Amino acid sequence: MPNHVHCIIVIKQNGMNVMGLQPSAPTDNHNRSLSAFVQGFKSAVTARINTLRNMPGKPVWQRSFHDHIIRNERLLHAIREYIANNPIHWEQDMDNVFHR
């Protein structure tokens, strides 16, 4: 979608993701919060966007974010499908300037 981002972030604990679905390589022991991750992502993307459009310091994102804990495979599948199908709805989105 042109006006927002969807992503699935897997939080790993002791070499397994929290849902216990798949093993992973051990990671560093830094405690990182979801908020810190999102803040870092937004910061890096904002810097790149503002460099490309030559508008330093211009805000890009809303202040907060929406999160949802995915607790099982069924919900993971449903959310993946929602994300894949989301752009189909851009035509009806109220933020689409061509919709108004």
Buried b (16+ CB within 10 A) or exposed e, 31-59: eeeeeeebeeebeeebeeeeeeeeeeeee
What pLDDT does residue 22 have? 46
Residue-wise pLDDT tens digits, 5-61: 899 988 777 765 555 444 444 445 455 688 888 899 999 999 999 999 999 999 989
